[in-house]
Amino acid sequence: MSFTFNGISKDFVHVSVDTERPMWAPIEWEIVEIPGRPGGYARRKKVKPRPLAIHITIKDVDDLQKAKEEIAEWLITDKPAPLVMPDEPDRTYYAVLDGTGQLDEFYKFGKGTITFTCPDPYKHGAEQSFDISNQTDGVNLVKNGDFSDGLANWRTWQAGSDGNTRELQDITDFDGDDYKFTKGFYYSAVASEQYGYAQDSISLTAGETYTLSAWFKVKSGAGQVRLQNGTAADGWTYTNYDVAPILGKWTKLTHTFTAKSDATSIYLGQSADENGNYNSAEITGVQVMRGSSSSHKWIPYLTQTVKSEGSAPTFPIVECTFAETADQYEIQLLNDDFSVKAGILINFKFIEGDKLVLDIANRAATLNGEDKRTAYHHTSDFPNFEIPPKKETLIRATQPSTIRFIDKYE
C-alpha cells in the first residue's frame, strides 16, 4: 500500500514493511547546572520538529525515470501538507520533503527512502467542536447568575419604604462545593402580599426540559422558599422548599420544568405559610441548564467545558457571528477556579452579522474575511492559550461562539 500525501497517493509507490517511525518527536531539555549541586536543573523542554523516513519500493511502471519525475512533482511542496500512512489512517502528519531521495534502481524497479520533516511535531487526529451559546447543552442560560455585576439583568422587589427596594449583599461565608460566590441577592421577611424575590428573563426552546438551580441561605422566618418559572400568558410552575431543613446553611435548591414558549421568566424568592408568615434569605449562584439533572456544577454565562482527547496540547480556532452590535470581543481560557489563565481581546465596532474568526495558533484574526490582526490583543502570555490534553477546560466568551480544535498526539 502507498501513503497519501497532500490528498494524493500513487499505486506504484509502496511503503516497505521495514519502515520505522519514531515513537515521539525529538525532545530537548535546557539543563542549567548549579555550582555545588550534582547534575543540573531541568529548566525548559523543547519539542523539536519530527523527522519521518519512509522506505519505499517503486514497481509496476513502464518508465522508472518518468515515475521518479512524477513522484518529485507530487511530493515537493512550498508548505507542509497532510501525510497519512496506510497503517495509521486516523492520524495525519503535516510534512515537507527534506533532503534528496535516493533509489537503488534495477530496470523498472526502485527501492529507497523518502525523508520528511514535520515542523508541527504532533500527529493530528479528529476535530472537536463546541458551541458557547445561550441554547447549548451544558451552558448556563442566566447572564448574571453570580450577581458579580450587581443587579444587572435582574429585577428585584422587596418591601421597604418605597415598596421596591433593591439590595445586593457581599457574601463572605459561602461554604458550598460550587464556585465561591462573593455577591448575592437578599430579601427580608415581609407581611401581607408584599414579598421579596429576584426575576430574570431568559430565552429557551419550547418543549425542552430545563433545570433552574440556585444557592439559598435562609436567615430567619417561616413559610417556604420558591423557585418558579413561566409567564403571565403561559402560567407558572414552581417548587417550594420548607424553611426549617435549610435554615442557616447554604443549600442548592432546584426546580425542573418544561418550557412552554421560547421566552420565560425565572423567579427566586419566598412564599408564606398558612399563617401568612414569610422568611429572610440570601440567594446566589443562579443557573438554568437544559435537561433534568441538578448535578451540574455552577458555571458563568457563556462558559463551556471543552476537552481534547489527544495526548498533546492544541490551539483552538474561534468563530463568532455577531447577533447585535458590540464594541469588543473577548475569549478567555479559565483555570479550574474560574480565574483567567489566558485571554484574547479584539477592540472593534462590530455590527450585526459580522463574522469574526480567530486562528490562535497563527495569531490571526479575520472579520468577514479581511485581516484584522492589528486589533488583536493578548491579555496574557500567548502560549498559555492552548487546550491541554485529557482535561476538562473552561472557556468563556463575551458573545455566542464556536470553538474548534484538532486533537493532537505525541
Task: Single out the residue of 229, 183, 191, 179 nearest to residue 208, CA to CA.
Answer: 229
| 8 shares its domain with 90 | yes
Q: Is residue 145 part of a domain?
A: no
Q: Which residue range forms the structural domain that includes residue 52?
A: 4-121
Q: What is the pLDDT of residues 339-366, one digit of tens each?
A: 889 988 888 899 999 999 999 888 888 9
Write down which residue in 264, 290, 316 finishes a domain: 290
For the record, the C-alpha cell of 64 comes out as: 522508472
**Residue of 31 and 129 predicted with greater confidence:** 129
Read off the pLDDT band of 128 (50, 70, 90).
very high
CA-closest candidate to residue 4, choices 78, 102, 74: 74
- Render pLDDT for 374-394 as a digit per residue (tens, 0 to 9): 766 655 555 578 999 999 999
Residues 276 and 326 in one domain: no
pLDDT for 375 equals: 67
- How many structural domains is the chain composed of? 3
pLDDT of 166 strictly over 80: no
Residue 131 and residue 112 in one domain: no
57 has pLDDT over 70 = yes
Long-range pairs for 170-178 at CB < 8 Å and ≥24 separation? 171/282, 171/284, 173/250, 174/215, 174/250, 174/284, 175/249, 175/250, 176/215, 176/250, 176/251, 176/252, 176/285, 178/215, 178/252, 178/285, 178/297, 178/298
Strands 326-334 and 393-397: antiparallel
How does residue 161 score in pLDDT terms, banded at 50, 70 and 90? very low
Structure confidence at residue 102 (pLDDT): 78
- The answer to the question of residue 149 being in a domain is no
Q: Beta partners for 283?
A: 185, 216
In the predicted model, what is the mean pLDDT of the chain?
A: 88
- For residue 156, what pLDDT band results from cuts at 50, 70 and 90? confident
Q: Is 259 helix (H, G, I), strand (E, B) or coil?
A: coil
Q: Based on the domain organization, do 169 and 273 belong to the same domain?
A: yes
Compute the average pLDDT of residues 56-61. 90
The percentage of the chain sitting over the pLDDT mark of 70, rounded to a whole number, equals 94
pLDDT tens sequence across 266-319: 999 888 888 878 888 899 999 999 988 877 788 899 999 999 999 999 999 999
Output the pLDDT for position 376: 64
Contact 251, 194 (CB under 8 A): no
18-32, 201-215, 316-330: least confidently modelled range:
18-32
Asked if residue 182 and residue 258 are part of one domain, the reply reads: yes
Rounded Cα–Cα distance for residues 5 and 28 (Å)? 28
Minimal CA–CA distance to 327: which of 353, 302, 301, 347? 347
* Domain containing residue 163: CATH number: 2.60.120.260
Tell me: do 46 and 172 sit in the same domain.
no
Q: Where does a domain end: 290, 311, 334?
A: 290
> Which residues fall within 8 angstroms of residue 351, CB to CB, at 6 or more apart?
322, 325
Residue 397 lies in a domain: yes
176 and 245, same domain (yes or no): yes
Predicted TM-score (pTM) of the model is 0.82
**Residue 138 has what pLDDT?**
84
Average pLDDT over residues 323-332: 93
361 in any annotated domain: yes
Largest CA distance in the chain: 104
Q: Is 259 a domain residue?
A: yes
Residue 96 has pLDDT above 90, yes or no: yes
Percent of the chain with pLDDT over 90: 57
**Is the pLDDT assigned to residue 169 strictly greater than 90?**
no
* Model confidence at 10: pLDDT above 50: yes
Residue 67 lies in a domain: yes
**Domain edge (last residue) among 290, 320, 351:** 290
Q: What is the pLDDT of residue 192?
A: 46
Write the CA distances from 401 to 132, 133, 207, 322, 334, integer angstroms. Answer: 5, 6, 24, 9, 16
In this prediction, residue 136 carries a pLDDT of 83
Same domain, 211 and 307: no
Residue 159 lies in a domain: yes
The pLDDT of residue 164 is above 80? no
Average pLDDT (247-258) is 94
Q: Give residues with Cβ within 8 angstroms of 239, minimum separation 6.
A: 226, 227, 228, 253, 254, 255, 256
Are both 311 and 388 inside the same structural domain? yes
CATH code, domain carrying 67: 2.40.30.200
Cell of 11: 499505486
Confirm whether 142 is domain-assigned. no
Clarify whether residues 246 and 352 are in a common domain.
Answer: no
pLDDT at 158: 58
Which CATH number fits the domain that encloses residue 381? 2.60.120.860
Structure-block grid coordinates of residue 14? 509502496
72-89: per-residue pLDDT in tens?
999 999 999 999 999 999
